[in-house]
Amino acid sequence: MRPPFSITDKMLKLTVEITQAVTLLELQHQRDLHLRKENRIRSIHSSLAIEQNTLSLEQVTAIIAGKRVLGEPKEIREVQNAYEAYEEVFKFDPYSIENLLAAHRLMTKGLVKESGAFRERDVGVYDGNGTVVHIGARPQFVYGLVDDLFKWAKKTDIPALIKSCVVHFELEMIHPFLDGNGRMGRLWQNLLLAKWQPVFEWIPIESQVHNPV
């Protein structure tokens, strides 16, 4: 089933502009291996910071380099897990539920009991005042909704830039996991974009979400 969205003229215009910019970036990233590594670290730092991880970019860089860092063990583990997930995910099939669960297992191992599994109970998203702002799909419908979403995404001919946004949005709406939904949504959008243009493996789009210009 097609997710409910409309393609506007502005979206198509931006798609063309981004495609042109990506072509130039690909040439730059092919030449600069240091930049690729640096951007991967920025992606991880920003994605975790959105989830309230307090480690600085310098601390994240040190952890990935194998250095000892003073910090909360949970936050350090989040960095280590995210790095492993980003290192592996671009080999995955973005339309495979098994691969989605495998990526979640990498992202959350040692942090949640339900690592690598869809949730089996209801879940809600709350704002800073404790008010419910979103209720995820009932657990018995999660697998079917994700399956429908991936089947649609695999078949659709809409531009990859738009498709990746729709998939990201719908995953957050379904909220398939008890924890890690935000990180997984951003990771899966990266994967979809990288399958279209490999340079997206190294573009820190999470940084723009964390610190929009």
- Report, as residue numbers or ranges, the catalytic residues: 175
Q: Is 186 annotated as a binding residue?
A: yes
99 annotated to a ligand binding site: no
Taking residue 160's Cβ as centre, other Cβ atoms within 10 Å add up to: 18
Determine if residue 121 is labeled as part of a ligand binding site.
no
Strand stretches in the chain, DSSP E? 124-126, 132-135
Q: How buried is 78 (Cβ within 10 angstroms: 0-12 exposed, 13-18 middle, 19+ buried)?
A: buried
State the SS3 of 105-120: HHHHCCCCCCCCCCCC
Residue 127 is assigned to a ligand binding site = no
Q: What DSSP state is assigned to residue 137?
A: P
Contact 207, 57 (CB under 8 A): no
Q: Is 185 annotated as a binding residue?
A: yes
Asked whether residue 93 is marked as a ligand-binding residue, the answer is no
107 labeled part of a ligand binding site: no
Binding-site residue positions for ATP? 179-186
Binding-site residue positions? 179-186
